[in-house]
Structure 1
Amino acid sequence: MSFFVSLSGMRNAETDLRVIAHNIANAETVGFKKSNTQFSDLVAKGASVDPRRTPGLGATVVAITQDFALGPLEQTGRTLDLAIDGDGFFALANPVSGDIAFSRNGNFRLTASGAIEDAWGNRLQAYPVDSAGNPTSTTPADVSVPLLSPVPVGPTPGTLSNVSIDARGTIIAAYSDGTTAPVGQVALAIFGAPAGLRAIGQTKWQASGESGPPAFGNPGVGNFGGMISGALERSNVELAEELVALLTAQRNFQANARAIDTATVITQTAINLRQQ
């Protein structure tokens, strides 16, 4: 039995090492959130077992939880780099399937057609607005920036020269004829239980039954974090903490391996005594 107890400890230590290695590998990934491994002991017991003599059966992994603590904010000066100072996620739509994913990575770009998307082509979701920049709908949709001035001041419409985003999340297009026009307001999503979000890679998550459905809102309102333009949220991985955890997990693995070696010696001694 001691073999299986120590084997469970080795498996858990290996899982812990994989989680820590994943955190370290993404220490420089924008918008990445570190994970932690949680363990629980296994106990063999029954109604007729003396509680003072209850043997243990080892340990198991209970959960691998994500830590959504805010990472450091780094100024980039690029107008389409966005950071959320507080709670919330950017909503991104897959242009093919229409599936919505959520991310803290605010590194966006403007396409030739006027869409705002991330590095993988997912479209940023925003509320449509009127000429004063006030939202006209509570349903987010793809951002579409007009390439020509919607209200030209001369006979020829001005061409798009710049796109900026203010602290309210309002997307403002500037044109060569000197005119500006609001084209949308970035929609943020929050969840009742963000730890239940399903990680899908590319620093994105999907809603699940454990996280609950997303609630959309405006940046800086209520529980929704403020919007910072020209900045990105770095990974919340602390390398010093991860290296200490890495050493601890390594020691745990070695200790369980040594326990198996000891159990092997004891078993071999018992077999040798029986053969004599």
Structure 2
Amino acid sequence: MTSFYTSLSGLNAAQTDLNVTSNNIANVGTNGFKSSSAQFSDVISSSLFQAGDSVIGQGTRTKSITQSFTQGSEQTTGQSLDLMISGQGFFVTQAQGTGGQVNFTRTGSFNLDATTDNVVDSNGNALQVLPVDQLGNITATGAAAMKTLHVPPTNGTAKATTEVDLSMTFPSDSATLSDASFNKNDASTYNGTSSTTVYDSAGNAIPATVYYVHTQATTTNDDGTVSGTSQWVAHTYIGDQEVFPSGSTTPPTLTFDASGTLTSPTGAVTYGAVTPTGASAPMAVSFNYGTATQEGSFALQTVTGSQNGNTIGQLSDLTVGADGVVTATYSDGSSQKLGAVALANFTNPDGLKQMGSTNWQATGTSGAAQIGAAGGNSTIAQGELEMSNVDLSAQLVNLISAQRNFQANAKAIDTDKQMVDSIIQVIN
């Protein structure tokens, strides 16, 4: 009957081989998946006094199921939080919350958690990084130094606009109009406009528009010389509110001499505070026309315009360098280094325990995780994912081989059964 159990062990081994191969084939499209292979050993049973040349094997058993950590092919996605490790190492993730479970993975498909603004995987585990300074230099290494990659949605502090500088060029031959008929909703009642954006103390953007009415022109004499002065009334609106110089109820007038030089006002015009629709607080803004000129025949134009306020920077881009340093860029032009992606290496990766969802955990066999950053033979590629390292052709060959092994052992059992039946018939 020993042959029955010997062949049965072969059937079990073939079934195990089929299961492992089937699992590999099923995960051929799973990003970051690492294929496994079943390793078997023979079973020998002998007694102390049995001759060495008369020992008969008693079947096979599963020795181990080993994993292959070879590099998978790359898949380009273009997503800023899709990352791929080229070379050795594992991403480190941790369940959010104090003392969360630490996992290791080769799957670099991450996204930004809308609730916590942390970078997480599909299971909600947070990606771990090492701290860096604003030059991108790592300031601490090791497991104790790791922290969750948090992406602030905003950066900087809002500053209310208090001054606007306008460098304007006014056409000397522009038609003159009556200021009494000015209506900002009727373009025929003014000669031109200039616009800029100003900010209140909360960083809200408010349009600032100045409407210019040419009320007086210089005189060209018979000898071609120019005399007199030119005047432009500047109607200034902050949002939907017209503003006037402090202590006045009339708009300022810009005066140019015969050569086109601004003679008045000679400094910044300070306007009274107003609270336009959309503003969180009153706004008091001054306008400086110090470099304005009048010349030539062309449309009124703003040469340069600037203001000293700013809004809070909104997150506009997230980049990850080959060294794993994550940089957030904001709409105000500022940027912030958030950390360097932590990579874990192991003395014996084959000893890692599979946890499902292409996650592994450290064991005594694998050794403790050695935490560092990308560098040397390991780099980070942004916008790419590592595909499964399953060789489908090889797995199909393994599948056929396991099937043949199963059939051969089943045939051995059937043959053994026929022999037993024959013996029983002889006895009877």
- With normalisation by structure 2, the TM-score equals 0.62
Q: Which moved more, 1:110-119 or 1:230-239?
A: 110-119
Q: Which has the higher strand share?
A: 2
1:116 to 116, 119, 134: 119
**Counterpart pick for 1:193 among 345, 348, 365:** 348
Q: Distance in 1 between matches of 2:373 and 2:365?
A: 24
> Secondary structure, in 3 states, of the residue corresponding to 1:71?
coil
- Identify the residue that residue 105 of structure 2 maps to in structure 1: 103
Deviation readout 1:104-159 (Å, 9 max, x if unpaired): 00001012232101011000000122211222222111011111114779532111
For residues 18-64 of structure 1, give each alpha carbon's deviation from its aligned partner in whole angstroms, at most 9, with x where no partner exists.
00000000000000000000000011212211222111110000000
- Over 6 Å off, 4+ runs: none
Q: Deviations over 1:151-184 (max 9, x none)?
A: 7795321111121111110111011112211111
In 2, are the aligned partners of 1:152 and 1:179 still within 8 Å (CA)? no
Q: Return the match for 2:130 from 127, 131, 136.
A: 127
Q: Distance in 2 between matches of 1:165 and 1:152?
A: 27
Corresponding residue of 2:405 = 252
State the alpha-carbon separation in 2 of the partners of residues 44 and 151 from structure 1. Answer: 78
1:6-85 matched pairs, under 5 angstroms: 6-85=7-86
Distance 2:74 2:157 in 1: 36
Distance in 1 separating the partners of 2:380 and 2:403: 41
* Counterpart pick for 1:143 among 137, 145, 149: 149
Alignment counterpart, residue 365 of structure 2, candidates 183, 207, 210: 210
Opposite residue 358 of structure 2, the aligned amino acid is T
- Alignment map for 1:150-169 (pairs within 5 Å): 150=156, 154-169=309-324
Mapped contact 2:157–2:311 kept (Cα < 8 A): no
CA RMSD in angstroms comes to 1.3
Letter in 2 for 1:104: R
AA aligned opposite 1:127: L
Q: Is the 8 A contact 1:191 1:213 kept in 2?
A: yes
Q: TM-score, normalised by structure 1?
A: 0.96
Bigger radius of gyration, 1 or 2? 2
* Matching residue's letter, 2:59: G
Contact 1:40–1:60 under 8 Å retained in 2: yes
**Letter matched to residue 123 of structure 1:** A
**Counterpart-to-counterpart distance in 1, 2:156 and 2:134:** 10
Residue type of the alignment partner of 1:111: D
Paired with 2:157 and 2:350, the residues of 1 have a C-alpha distance of 46
Unaligned residue ranges in structure 1 (runs of 5+): none
The answer on 1:230 being equivalent to 2:378 is: no
Alpha-carbon distance in structure 1 between the residues aligned to 2:137 and 2:327: 12
Q: More deviation in 98-107 or 38-47? A: 38-47
Residue aligned with 1:132, SS = coil
Question: Residue type matched to 1:90 in 2?
Answer: F
Work out the CA distance in 2 between the residues paired with 1:203 and 1:15. Answer: 21
Asked if 1:90 is matched to 2:91, the reply is: yes
**CA contact 1:152–1:177 (8 Å) conserved in 2:** no
**Percent of pairs identical after alignment?**
43
| Number of residue pairs matched by the alignment | 273
Q: For the Cα contact (< 8 Å) 1:146–1:160, is it kept in 2?
A: yes
| Structure 1 or 2: more helix by fraction | 1
Letter matched to residue 227 of structure 1: I
1:159 aligns to what SS in structure 2?
strand
